[in-house]
Amino acid sequence: MKILGGTLKSIAEEKAGIIKAGIPVLTGPQKPAVIKVLKEKAKQKNAPLTIVKQEDYFTDYKILESGMNVRLKKSGEWIHTPLAGVHQLENLALALKSCELFLEREPDLIAVKRGLSEVSWPGRFEKLSSKPLIYYDVAHNPSGVERLKELVMSLYPQKKKFLIIGMLGDKKTRDIVEIMLPDSFAAYLAPVASHRSMSIQDLILLASSLSHTSVMPSVSEAVKRAMSEANDDDLILIYGSHYMAGEVYAAVTGAEYTKSEY
């Protein structure tokens, strides 16, 4: 927020800075204020703008515990992809459209099926354990956490949920916690390995105003605490930052973690 601005318009203007003269621009569906900015910038740069929709490439989908099945519009075939969530359909559609523009033709169907089935995106609703269920997602803004909540609640509406949230100080921290909090049993806030991390003092202040929320000295300690309290049929959801990835993987697997701040 401090870097990109406090409104959709200002953020879109910053993001639109990547648009280059004469180079095609692709975007998924956006709010009207964002589309207006993109259209204006693309027109200034004489860059053709295409708004890609998931319906352009997929006619149906089924969310699974590990990824989802999608139905290709072109062939009618069902293909499994490790990515999950309606928002990932938009990302996949953008990827396919990018291939079309790069190749100047539709990509080979066999290549499309292979790409969809073999794609790997660590930190995007990544399943790290089965007993208890542990997922890690790098969602770090309110819209991302809203989508994460939709995905989690569609798969596990009845499971007891433990939240572990790594917090940077320049994000909408309260919103990021409060979106998931009502559906959780317990939430643990922790600093991450970054100079931008929220301080322990600020985390304690935030937690004091929220129900069933406490602060742990590190992500590793938060993972240990949640794993000690969760039963095999419970769900531990870790989210909030890219910066916590190394610590998350080490804590879940038991590997040694070497702290490196950025």
Q: For the chain, which residues make up each domain, given as ranges?
A: 8-51, 54-118, 126-253
Residue 2 confidence (pLDDT): 52
> Is residue 92 packed enough to be buried (19+ CB in 10 Å), middle (13-18) or exposed (0-12)?
buried
Sign of the C-alpha dihedral computed for residues 166, 170, 172 and 178 taken in this order: positive
Residue 254 has pLDDT above 80, yes or no: no
Alpha-helix runs per DSSP H in 119-185: 142-155, 173-178
pLDDT of residue 207: 92
- Strands (DSSP E) along 109-222, which ranges? 126-130, 133-137, 161-167, 186-191, 213-215
pLDDT digits (tens, 9 = 90+) for 220-232: 999 999 999 999 9
Tell me the mean pLDDT in the region 153-176: 89
pLDDT digits (tens, 9 = 90+) for 8-23: 899 899 999 999 999 9
Please say if the pLDDT value at position 140 is more than 70. yes
Following CA atoms 177, 178, 180, 181 in sequence, which dihedral angle do they give, to the nearest 10 degrees?
Answer: 100
- What integer best gives the mean pLDDT of the chain? 91
The identity of residue 109, as a single letter, is L
The reported pLDDT for the residue numbered 253 is 84
- Count the neighbouring beta carbons within 10 Å of the beta carbon of residue 148: 22
Highest CATH level, class, for 126-253: alpha beta
What confidence tens digit (pLDDT) does each residue in 32-71 have? 999 999 999 999 999 999 999 999 999 999 999 889 999 9
- Per-residue confidence (pLDDT) for residue 204, from 0 to 100: 93
Judge whether residue 188 has pLDDT over 80: yes
* pLDDT single digits (tens) 61-119: 999 988 999 999 999 999 999 999 888 999 999 999 999 999 999 999 999 999 999 99
Residue 7 confidence (pLDDT): 86
DSSP 3-state assignment of 183? Answer: helix
| The token pair that represents 126 in the structure block | 């990544």
What does pTM read for this prediction?
A: 0.85
Output the six-digit token pair for 70: 């999608």
